[in-house]
Amino acid sequence: MKFFVDTADTAQIAELNDLGMVDGVTTNPSLILKSGRDILEVTQEIAAMVEGPVSAEVVALEADAMIAEGRKLAAIAPNIAVKVPLTWDGLRACKVLSGEGNMVNVTLCFSANQALLAAKAGATFISPFIGRLDDINLDGMQIISDIRQIYDNYGYETQILAASIRTVNHAHQSAMIGADVMTAPPAVIKAMASHPLTDKGLAAFMADWEKTGQKIL
């Protein structure tokens, strides 16, 4: 499973990248706001830091304007994936931008039917938002499972990018279902390393080691 980091915070990306945990990065307008950085400048910096796809989102709502913005974002670096919303205009922009050889990430996906349309429009990635479905008492994981089955039924190569991951359980379940990629905030990726029995076991080992009076270095 590929891990994308869902942030525009370059310090956090660098920390995880040094551990080999970063196969790509996703950003969105809210994350750009949070970073306090200029979108073109920070996207260029991130794209130079990581080898994998870096999603940068258009903000126009009409297809021709999305395409123009997408071309500008794609020109930043060869590893940019242009992010477009799952609207009819976004699908038109996806078709054109992917036809020009760009990676396209279709975002704000909340149904399997939307994901089917994105695959037919040539999306490189489809981003179903798990957490936001859970927020309104729907089953975010079910959509990942449905899209996996539909894409496998017909051999679509669009990669399922499980997004809006809020918990370590979302990460676990996405991996079990077979999402190709998950994008998660740095805190969730770090939390995946935690287990109370690891902490308890380590404390016991340290206590016994102290009693030996030995040193390794």
Closest approach, Cβ 109 to ligand E4P, in A, equals 10
| Span interacting with ligand E4P, options 69-77, 96-104, 111-119, 158-166, rule CB under 6 A | 158-166
CB burial of 143-176 (b: ≥16 within 10 Å; e: otherwise) equals bbbbbbeebeeeebebbbbbbbbbebebbebbee
Cα 4 from Cα 171, distance rounded (Å): 12
Q: If residue 3 lies in a helix (H) or strand (E), which one and from where to where?
A: strand 2-6
Cα 97 from Cα 71, distance rounded (Å): 7
| Span interacting with ligand E4P, options 9-17, 90-98, 123-131, 143-151, rule CB under 6 A | 123-131
The catalytically annotated residue of 72, 83, 120, 215 is: 83
Cα 179 from Cα 149, distance rounded (Å): 11
| Span interacting with ligand E4P, options 66-74, 116-124, 160-168, 195-203, rule CB under 6 A | 160-168
Site for ligand E4P in 7-66 (CB under 6 A): 26, 28
Does the annotation count 72 as an active-site position?
no
When CB distances to ligand E4P are compared, the closest residue is 164
Which of 6/89 has CB closer to ligand E4P? 6
Closest approach, Cβ 75 to ligand E4P, in A, equals 21
2 part of the interface to ligand E4P, by CB under 6 A:
no
Burial grade of 82 (CB within 10 A; 0-12, 13-18, 19 or more): buried
164 part of the interface to ligand E4P, by CB under 6 A:
yes
Which of 59/202 has CB closer to ligand E4P? 59
Which of 102/201 has CB closer to ligand E4P? 102
Contact, 63 vs 93, CB < 8 A? yes
With a CB cutoff of 8 Å and minimum separation 6, the contacts of 126 are 105, 106, 109, 115, 118, 119, 147, 158, 159, 160, 161
Closest approach, Cβ 204 to ligand E4P, in A, equals 37
**Residues involved in catalysis:** 83
Binding site for ligand E4P (CB under 6 A): 6, 26, 28, 107, 127, 129, 131-132, 163-164, 166, 183
